[in-house]
Amino acid sequence: MLTLIERLTAVLPLVLIALAFVQLRDDDALATGRVIQTLLAAAGAALFAALVAGADAALTQLAVACGALLAALSFAMGPSPVPSGIAEPARPRAMLVLLGVVALLALAPADLPSGLLWVSWLVLAAWATHRRHRAELRTLAVPAIGAASVIAGATADGLVGPWLMLIGAAATLPLVPFHGWYLSLFAEGRTSHRAFVAALLPMMALILLLDLPAAARDAIGPVLATWGAASLGYAALRAFGQSELRRVLAFAAMASAALVALGVGNAGAAAAGGAALQALSLAVGSGGMVLLCARLASPSFGLPLRGLGGLAEVAPRLAFALVLLTLTLMQTPALGGFAAWWLVLMGSENAVSVAALALLLLLGASVVARLLREVVYGPPGSLTARQQDLAPRELALLGVLVGVDLVLGLAPGMVLGGAGLFPN
Amino acid sequence: MYDLLPLFVPFAPLAAALFLAQSALRRRTRGPAAAVASGAMLVALVLALFSLLLAVAAGPWTLSTWTWLTLGSIEVRFGLVMDHLTGVMLVLVSSVSLIVHLYARRYMQDEGGYRRFYALLSGTTAVTLAMVMAADLIQLFLLWQLMGVLLYLLLGFDLSSRRAADSAAWSLLINRAGDLAFALGVLLLVQAYGTSDIASLFERAAADPQHFALSWLGLPGARLDANATATLLIFVGAMARSAQFPLHVWLPNTMDAPTPVSALMHAGLVNAGGFLLNRLAPLYMEAPTTLHVVFVVGTVTALIGSTIMLTQTDVKRALGYSTVGQMGYMMMEVGLGAFALAIFHLAAHGIFKATLFLSAGGVVNATRRNPNTEPETVSGGPPRLPLWVGLATTLGVPLLILVGVHEMLGISLPEHQGAIVLLFFGWVTASQAALSVYRAGARNSVNATLLMLATLFVVVFGYMWGGHAFEAFLYPEGVGGLARVAIDWTLFYIAIALAAALILLGWLTAFRRVEGAGSGRPTARGYDQAYVWVHGGLFVEGLYRRLILRPAVALAGLVDRYL
């Protein structure tokens, strides 16, 4: 049974969709976006009706069907280039906001899932009012589908519920094929909101999965673990094959997010603790990475690696921050990702999980080595010359993020025990 | 309170590293970076010496610091173990690092990133010092892997060069592959014995050796010896770090790094593999099969490394392969159960190699600026060593050592297997030295060769006695019966035959090359081809590129395009 606040948060997407609809009517080039937002509106309406009517099974199925259709459309759209490098004067504030979120997580009350769900809707609502792009709609749509699936799963009876929850978690984490929105996250939109979403949504997915009854977790566990392993392999390989900086980082972060699924999918205290730690580490690492991506200036479309290079010479602090943050994504010892990787490895129950973890370790290092070679080393490239170095204040804020990750890596038992997340 | 003293050994360079890292980011002037870092290293060395003296006087002790995490009945508590092995390693690492710190003060003064360099140097030293005193296996692994990451950053110090980035990437990837095996080994041990505390692990592994099922791999009914499998996996980690064949390719490729970095790496960091196996010596004594594998890998590495070294025309690559060969010797010693000898060897090699790198700094610096410098240009003159002299000495020396060890010292080889290593060491090193002198055409090469061989005799016999004394010091209670890891003599004879064949091949190649060059006659095609193969490092690196790197890139491209 949903609480009042969950019902209220379910209404928020409808308001949001209506706002997006109104804004998009004046946009002249986004027919696909209109289709999506219309479907979104339909899905939202169906979901709302389901909630008000007390979770009728037929309506729930309709909502799920709408969600699946939207997911398929969203995936079929593919990535869309959007001019970036737009000046965003709110960067330092965005960093502070992200730190506030970390503090919020540390001080969160017992009903954390409801609170996080609510916050996420607020974030999405704020996001949608910023700019109007097809990719941004996707960024809005997929987590909305995830949230809809989650709420539908919570109201559904019997066996269907956990599977709906699984879809919701997969869209939120994200796992392949629901990852399109995550790529956009690294490249477009308002930085503060991107950082929020990057930090919060994997945490939400984790808490959602950990809150499932043991029987439900047992039921979806093997599928979740396999899905996580497949997603991890896919993302790691895609990261290796990218030629644009932000996409490399986005896929690397996605591979790390898949570790959360792998951890929860492997039943057992160690793996679940590893998943929890990874979600926390990812929140810090990917949030910081999003901020860093926003900080990298680009005159037109993205940041192709061939135009970069020599960042260490032009902007040494920026290069230093990039090195530090990429290290958080490659399971570097003493940082949170390593402890999480180790715990998930300890809790792995099958060869597929172990193979995926091995792949993450090796491809993670390959991706980081290649990225740093192309961006930090060598003579300055055409795009690098435009980069301005980080101000000491910005560097210090990023340093705090790395410091948080250090605490996660050096005292994982204390962190997990303190947060009540470690299922001993 | 004295038991807290070792904690401050890594703390001093760590504090210096953090201070220098933050000041490097503020783009200050050069400042007293060298003084700060060297001062911290001096403090570390003094504390290390005191710690060693305390360990000798008061006996070994352990100290728990904090609980990393608790998982059911398994509690991972980080701490330190202060025994003779830790003490020796603390002194060795801090002294070599201090020398490198002092040397780099002037050597690096014209380079950019002065503070960053010292921050990385001090940081790497701090992590290495912390690693050698780790009391928990997971703690040791964590620091081990962190050392690999810092090594990557150190090797890629020259940010203006993508070549430096490439060689650093090789080190990162190969070490990561080794780390993966290491992690799996640790995991097996923790799951089999329910603890990651090293001392408890030894007790449980000896008292009740475990087996584990492979049903999770789809092999119902199959069981593996936990000790043998885990030690083998951990050894793969040591292979990567200590550049054992075929995971050695990263080491000869790291010559773009500044000379002080090379000195620290060759004198200290690559020795980590030998230290790791020593730290886990009681566990390895429970796994004789693994020790045999270690011996074979060490022998192959020693022979291949030494042979490839002889054919190198680039000074720094030759030094790199020399280290590969020496690491092979070290692993041979471990494989024979002569753990203390391996530490003795790594200490001797560390000091020797650091001296070599630093005293040859000017030449090495010149070659770094021009990587294709021919060693032949350093010396000159015609060869004056007759072939038969070289052959007689390099094949006669081992026999004399064998007789000397067995008859004069009255040491039975099967019971003191370190002698076998000495035999190999003397044999291959003498051959290497004589061949190098012969090929380089050094003046007074006969005298130089005889002097080297005489020195070798002194070193070998001193090594023998010193080795025994050192073993008694390092392991007062012993590490367990050597008879349990008695070497298979067939294997030993095969290795001897292989070494003899390679030495003969080396002499014949060198002789034909020199004679051919003098007479204008072409050398035989087979020899030339063999030479090219050896000169190219047996093309192991190319094999990695073809079998792993290219398919991975192609697969990534396919996934990116179609999925």
Whether residue B553 and residue A372 make contact (CB cut-off 8 A), yes or no, is: no
Window from B115-124, B405-414, B452-461 with minimum mean pLDDT = B405-414
How much is the average pLDDT of B10-16? 93
Structure tokens given for A233:
């392999």
Amino acid at B461: F
Window from A135-149, B373-387, B389-403 with minimum mean pLDDT = B373-387
Q: Are A357 and B222 in contact (CB under 8 A)?
A: no
B518 exposure class (CB count in 10 Å sphere: 0-12, 13-18, 19+): exposed
Of A277 and B276, the one with more pLDDT: B276
Window from A77-91, A342-356, B70-84, B132-146 with minimum mean pLDDT = A77-91
- Unique residue bearing structure tokens 């980035």: B165
pLDDT value for B433: 61
Give the closest of A237, A339, A369 to B172, CB-based: A369
Calpha distance A70→B262 (Å, rounded): 57
Q: List C-alpha distances in Å: A196 to A97, A104, A286, B385.
A: 8, 12, 10, 75
Of B509 and B97, the one with more pLDDT: B97
SS3 content of chain A, % helix, strand, coil (to 5): 75, 0, 25
- Unique residue bearing structure tokens 């590969």: B324
Which residues of chain B from 303 to 342 reach within 8 Å of chain A, CB to CB? none
Give the closest of A269, A350, A366 to B173, CB-based: A366
Query: What does DSSP say about strands B74-82 and B211-214: parallel, antiparallel, or unpaired?
Result: unpaired
Calpha distance B401→B408 (Å, rounded): 10
Q: Are B135 and B80 in contact (CB under 8 A)?
A: yes
Window from B232-246, B458-472, B474-488 with minimum mean pLDDT = B474-488
Calpha distance B120→B261 (Å, rounded): 10
Q: Which residues in chain B are closer than 8 Å to A366, comparing Cβ atoms?
A: 169, 173, 552
pLDDT value for A41: 47
Give the closest of A237, A333, A417 to B555, CB-based: A237
pLDDT at A69 over 50: no
Window from B168-182, B431-445, B500-514 with minimum mean pLDDT = B431-445
pLDDT at B307 over 50: yes
Torsion on CA atoms A144, A150, A151, A157, rounded to nearest 10: 150
CB pairs under 8 A between A and B: 129
CA distance A298 to chain B (A): 22
Whether residue A346 and residue B187 make contact (CB cut-off 8 A), yes or no, is: yes
pLDDT value for A419: 47
pLDDT at B1 over 70: no
pLDDT value for A71: 40
CA distance B72 to chain A (A): 6
Q: What is the pLDDT of residues A84-96, one digit of tens each?
A: 433 333 334 444 4
Calpha distance A252→B162 (Å, rounded): 22
pLDDT at A101 over 60: no
- Spatial CA neighbour of A416 closest among A336, A332, A327: A336
pLDDT at A40 over 70: no
pLDDT value for B259: 81
Q: Which residues in chain A are closer than 8 Å to B159, comparing Cβ atoms?
A: 312-313, 319, 376-377
Q: Which residues in chain A are closer than 8 Å to B134, comparing Cβ atoms?
A: none
Confidence of residue A38 (pLDDT cuts 50, 70, 90): very low
Window from B63-72, B131-140, B477-486, B544-553 with minimum mean pLDDT = B477-486
How much is the average pLDDT of B488-504? 66
Whether residue A351 and residue B218 make contact (CB cut-off 8 A), yes or no, is: yes
Confidence of residue A160 (pLDDT cuts 50, 70, 90): confident
Whether residue B72 and residue A349 make contact (CB cut-off 8 A), yes or no, is: no
Q: Are B301 and B245 in contact (CB under 8 A)?
A: yes
CA distance B2 to chain A (A): 25
> Percent of chain A beyond pLDDT 90?
2
Which residues of chain B from 64 to 83 reach within 8 Å of chain A, CB to CB? 66-72, 76
CA distance A244 to chain B (A): 12
Whether residue B70 and residue A342 make contact (CB cut-off 8 A), yes or no, is: no
Note the helical H segments in A329-378: 336-347, 351-375
pLDDT value for B318: 79
Q: What is the pLDDT of residues B76-115, one digit of tens each?
A: 888 899 988 899 899 989 988 998 898 888 888 777 788 8
Longest dimension (CA), chain B: 77
Calpha distance A88→A390 (Å, rounded): 14
Identify the residue among A314, A335, A360, A373 best suited for mutation to test binding to B, counting B beta carbons within 10 A and taking the highest: A373
Q: Are A252 and A367 in contact (CB under 8 A)?
A: yes
Whether residue A413 and residue B70 make contact (CB cut-off 8 A), yes or no, is: yes
How much is the average pLDDT of A140-157? 70
Residue of A nearest to B138 (CA): A342
CA distance B93 to chain A (A): 21
Note the helical H segments in B59-197: 84-107, 114-132, 137-155, 162-193
Give the closest of A350, A368, A412 to B69, CB-based: A412
- Unique residue bearing structure tokens 């050094």: B442
Of B161 and A119, the one with more pLDDT: B161
- Report chain A's mean pLDDT, rounded to a whole number: 68
pLDDT at B170 over 80: yes
Q: Is B557 part of the contact surface with chain A (CB cutoff 8 Å)?
A: yes
Identify the residue among A354, A372, A407 best suited for mutation to test binding to B, counting B beta carbons within 10 A and taking the highest: A372
Q: Which residues in chain A are closer than 8 Å to B143, comparing Cβ atoms?
A: 333
Calpha distance B269→B432 (Å, rounded): 24
- Spatial CA neighbour of B431 closest among B441, B419, B443, B439: B439
pLDDT at B556 over 80: yes
- Unique residue bearing structure tokens 């890629």: B156
Q: What is the pLDDT of residues A255-305, one digit of tens each?
A: 888 998 898 888 777 888 888 888 878 877 777 777 677 677 665 557 788
pLDDT at B182 over 60: yes
pLDDT value for B42: 94
- Report chain B's mean pLDDT, rounded to a whole number: 78
pLDDT at B51 over 60: yes
- Spatial CA neighbour of B405 closest among B323, B464, B493, B351: B464
pLDDT value for B130: 94
CA distance A318 to chain B (A): 10
Q: Which residues in chain B are closer than 8 Å to A269, comparing Cβ atoms?
A: 71-72
Calpha distance B536→A323 (Å, rounded): 33
Calpha distance B217→A261 (Å, rounded): 21
Identify the residue among A240, A326, A370, A415 best suited for mutation to test binding to B, counting B beta carbons within 10 A and taking the highest: A240
Q: Is B560 part of the contact surface with chain A (CB cutoff 8 Å)?
A: yes
pLDDT at B331 over 80: yes
Window from B75-79, B187-191, B392-396 with minimum mean pLDDT = B392-396
pLDDT value for B297: 92
Calpha distance B344→B470 (Å, rounded): 7
Q: What is the pLDDT of residues B215-259, one digit of tens each?
A: 666 667 777 888 899 999 999 999 999 989 888 888 887 777 788
Q: Is B562 part of the contact surface with chain A (CB cutoff 8 Å)?
A: no
Q: Interface pTM (ipTM) of the complex?
A: 0.80
How much is the average pLDDT of B178-197? 90
Give the closest of A334, A372, A413 to B146, CB-based: A334
CA distance A314 to chain B (A): 11
How much is the average pLDDT of B169-176? 91
CA distance A11 to chain B (A): 35
CA distance B27 to chain A (A): 9
Q: What is the pLDDT of residues A197-255, one digit of tens each?
A: 666 667 667 777 777 778 888 888 889 999 999 999 899 888 888 888 888 888 888 88
Identify the residue among A366, A375, A424 best suited for mutation to test binding to B, counting B beta carbons within 10 A and taking the highest: A366
